[in-house]
Structure 1
């Protein structure tokens, strides 16, 4: 065993899909930099940094989804089909850890839905290399330290942010010091569990620049150039009921790094590397206008002639957007604005504890068009006490706007106000693994079949927008005629024919790789309402 060796692990993920540009282990790189500063040898074992994936059986708790996702669809209206294991095998991880012989392994467990993969990673590491100590950190063990420690392979939990506590744990284990003095720690002690309060960073500017050199950028690429992440703030000052990092949640308060600190990191990330895509993972990138203007005035010079596309994929708050901010984003390299709308329903917005931002949202769309930026706009559907009719109105509203429609199916986020609401209403999913959008987790005032239908309708709207941009019009409805229709065309032509049939009879169809046409499971009342309403509206493109 190497008494100075620490390995930080990002576990595999098991789900219907993976968005790899959003799985870059930035948090582990930040923690790694702090551990290195204390003199330890650190590596990141990123189990997701591989193109390897394999189809696996639906877990038993997901079996109810088979009628919804059971057939493969190669059209533009496809959702999910196969459940997959993304990343290296658990055995590969165990073998790698055994070869490196670290004294401590830290495993990231950010999302409750994937906690089983984090725990299985811990179990396999302990099996292959029982000498090492294992610590889990991230949002899930922060919220459920005792449940996490029920796994015999887990020695410690670090609650909150791990930059300070992980380094202190390394030193305490090396010197056999008192573990109880480490902020945020939880561990089994005698016949009970010792739990200290979560540790939160007060001054983000005191942190060293994340050790991004430890990340495997051969995997995180876009168009053969490096794709990377920056986090310039943590937490959020807003009160949104569904969010686990809002001011109404159990998370730490909103904290923002100085402009100088962010620029220092950007200089290091872009100086000697061909970065082509950079995502700001902040919850509210432009809420503080003075800070934003100062930062992006410097960024536009820093990235000049580097042709780097910038993005804020967590969503921008429309009231914080004006012409100056949009102009700066365009100059800095933004091509798309991700806008957070939430809902258009005043009743639903009250439940979400959000303002009605339609006026500022429409202004942001106008500004985006003026500066040649595309938009993706996000709404939430199937939240507790939210109706499918309300979400349908949101989709129809977006159909008329110059933006793609991004519909997010609600899932309970531990630590949020709505998580407690779901618990009180006794509608929480039966297992942690179901707390994800793809599981259609709630069957409340919006049923699962309604949530699925809304998701498919959002795909239909976006395809209609694509047709407006590429052909200038949306085809007329046409009666379904399977036996007389040659569908050996390209994907767009096939999808256009499916759209024509849908607009005629309200049935959402798919087509498999062999050309067989079938009907998707959907709520007929919603689809009929949709086709009756959409014919009275003017669908807008995105360009």
Structure 2
């Protein structure tokens, strides 16, 4: 359930319910269903990078899956509700075709019911959405939707369609013309919005304490929806919402702000309020901020307050440590300050995930490798993202101009598809780097989890594995940890520089036979990685143990 709460839909529903409308949210992901489906032809090139049946802790993905309800189940839910208006979220660009598919289902059963689409993708690409959604999407809500959607419904209820041309923040077809009315303002009084309430009980609750991002990073397009000016809720309003959530059974609160600590003093005030209201209560409440922290805005006092309030992890963006890349993406930060914040967090019992983006235009393999080794020596887990350019961002336009992507090929714009290749790196290079991140994180996990039994298994491997064997036979099913030991031996000792996987070939009641699984990677990058790692110490996430190479 982590980060799958449809917070935007909950805000819309709360506002519309306050206005007297009956609203139902259909969260198609909440079912937890998933099934393997054929790989779309546009993604066929990925098969070489994602071999099936890989048992390695360094594996990436093995199957292409559909998550959530299928179109038939969605159709049945819509029929059951008999709506007067249907809203569809099209937030993530690579799933835009799925959103259009839902719109077609809606029109197939209720052809006269207005279909409204909103979300980031729609806001960034309104004309394209109207063209591709012709006949199934009637209106678009651009930017923040809480006020605009309510105004649109008033116009439709009054059958006063001529007023649509005066309504800011919408797009629609006017006969054969596309009409786009950009948003002209953003919601100023965030405290006036009703609390968003999930329809499905859970333990995890997202909270927004502010909106807007002044940073203007070239790889991000959040300002298209939330604006460039930072707007905040009062501390009292935030605490009241958290109390409401806790009373309704939630005990894990995640702050989803894009800039939670933008105003350092306000952040300290918030965390002191959390300590006052929730520390020491009979029901333990933990907090997280999976988004919106920045090392430049963090100091020791603030980090101590976060630890005392009930935070257990800090999610910190490194993005890239290269100053040239930072200038290109308009995201400059000090490497020295990053290390300082990581060490303060470790001293205060906070674990850190360090996020970096692999494959940014302007970056190169050597620098990305240096970033991996740099982070391996810190008490952090590595959180890699493969770069993809979101529509509406400055870097999206740059990638179009350079010919790295083609407009409209939205299904490719996901990290798992490695959509951007440049003269400095290819997909195979990025796949290799991503697998090396898996190796580093597994070693960090080992440093804290290794036991005497596993050390004995390691010695057994060292004496029994030999070069050239294509199969490995054991009298028991190997654990993930044991498979990891075998593969680390292959990488660092047995066949130095051989990064590969393992799959189960056959089994009987007393015999498990495994075989090596070759990866499509760049072996030169692996070799360079081992050279850079020589003499370095990989630290575990708590800074209490390390491996030296």
TM-score, reference length from structure 1: 0.90
1:328 corresponds to which of 302, 305, 318: 305
Question: What residue is the counterpart of 2:200 in the other structure?
Answer: 216
Instruction: Report the CA distance between 1:372 and its aligned residue.
Output: 0.8
Comparing 440-449 and 190-199, the one that deviates more:
190-199
Residue 235 of structure 1 and its aligned partner are, at CA, apart by 2.2
Q: Is the deviation greater in 350-359 or in 393-402?
A: 350-359
User: How far apart, in 2, do the equivalents of 1:516 and 1:173 lie?
Assistant: 63
1:222-301 alignment to 2 at 5 Å? 226-245=203-222, 251-271=227-247, 273-301=248-276
Partner SS, residue 337 of structure 1: strand
Unaligned runs of 5+ in 1: 1-19
2:178 aligned with 1:193: yes
Shift of 1:206: 4.6
Question: Structure 2 CA distance, aligned partners of 1:529 and 1:512?
Answer: 27
Quickly say closer, same or farther: Cα 1:517–1:319, change in 2 above 3 A. Answer: same
Q: What is the RMSD of the two structures over their aligned residues, measured on CA atoms?
A: 2.1
Instruction: Give the conservation status (yes or no) of the 8 Å contact 2:421–2:427.
Output: yes
Q: State the match for 1:367 in structure 2.
A: 344
Deviation track 1:436-478 (CA, whole Å, cap 9, x = no partner) reads 1011010112210011111000000001111222239997987
Q: Is the 8 A contact 2:216 2:228 kept in 1?
A: no
Partner residue of 1:506 out of 493, 497, 500: 497
Whether 1:441 and 2:441 are equivalent positions in the alignment is no
1:79-110 deviation per Cα after TM superposition (whole angstroms, max 9, x unaligned): 11111110001111112112211110010111
Report what 1:11 is aligned to. none
Q: Aligned partners of 1:429, 1:280: CA distance in 2, in Å?
A: 35
Q: How far apart are 1:131 and its partner, in Å?
A: 2.6
* 2:415 pairs with 1:420: no
Higher CA-based Rg: 2
Change over 3 Å in CA distance of 1:484–1:70 after alignment to 2: closer
After TM superposition, the structure 1 stretch with the greater mean CA deviation from structure 2, 190-199 or 203-212, is: 203-212
Q: TM-score, normalised by structure 2?
A: 0.89
Question: What corresponds to 1:381 in structure 2?
Answer: 358
Tell me how far 1:307 sits from its aligned partner: 1.6
C-alpha distance in 2, partners of 1:134/1:44?
15
Deviation, 1:129, is: 2.0
Give the alignment partner of residue 151 of structure 2, picking from 157, 161, 168.
Answer: 168
CA distance in 2, matches of 1:136, 1:145: 10
- CA contact under 8 A between 1:35 and 1:167: conserved in structure 2? yes
Q: Which residue of 2 aligns with 1:4?
A: none
- Aligned positions of 1:48-87 closer than 5 A: 48-87=29-68
Contact 1:53/1:86 (8 A) holds in 2: yes
Compare 249-258 and 300-309 and name the one that shifted more.
Answer: 249-258
Number of residue pairs matched?
514
Residue 15 of structure 2 corresponds to residue 40 of structure 1: no
How far is the alpha carbon of 1:422 from its aligned partner?
0.6
8 Å contact kept, 2:470–2:515: no
